[in-house]
Structure 1
Amino acid sequence: MRFHYSFQKVVDLKTNEKAQAEWMLSTAVGQLQLEEQTLQQLMSEKSRMEHMIQQAATGCVSLLKLQEMQAYIEHLNQCISQKYSDVQRAELNVQKNKDHLTDKIVDEKVWLKAREKARISFQQELLLREQNELDEMATIRYAMRAR
Structure 2
Amino acid sequence: MKFQYAFQKIVDLKSNEKTQAEWMLSSAIGRLQAEEKSLGELMDNRERMANELQEAAEQKVPVSKIREFQMYVEHLEQCIEKKHTDVQHANVNVEMKKDQLSHKVLDEKVWLKAKDKAKDTFQQSMLLREQNELDEMATVRFAIKAR
Say whether 1:108 aligns with 2:108: yes
Unaligned runs of 5+ residues in structure 1 are: none
- 1:11 counterpart residue number: 11
- 1:119 counterpart residue number: 119
- 1:74 counterpart residue number: 74
Say whether 1:134 aligns with 2:118: no
Code of the aligned partner of 2:95:
Q
1:55 deviates by 1.2
Runs of 4+ residues over 3 Å off in structure 1: none
Distance in 2 of aligned mates of 1:46 and 1:69: 10
- 2:43 counterpart residue number: 43
**RMSD of Structure 2 on Structure 1 (CA):** 0.5
Code of the aligned partner of 1:140:
V
Which aligned pairs between 1:19-98 and structure 2 lie closer than 5 A?
A: 19-98=19-98
1:59 deviates by 1.1
Code of the aligned partner of 2:123:
Q
- 2:146 counterpart residue number: 146
Distance in 1 of aligned mates of 2:55 and 2:73: 15
1:101 deviates by 0.2
Q: 3-state DSSP class of the match of 1:136?
A: helix
Unaligned runs of 5+ residues in structure 2 are: none
Distance in 2 of aligned mates of 1:144 and 1:85: 88
**Aligned pairs, number:** 147
1:54 deviates by 1.3
TM-score normalised by L of structure 1: 0.99
TM-score normalised by L of structure 2: 0.99
1:114 deviates by 0.3
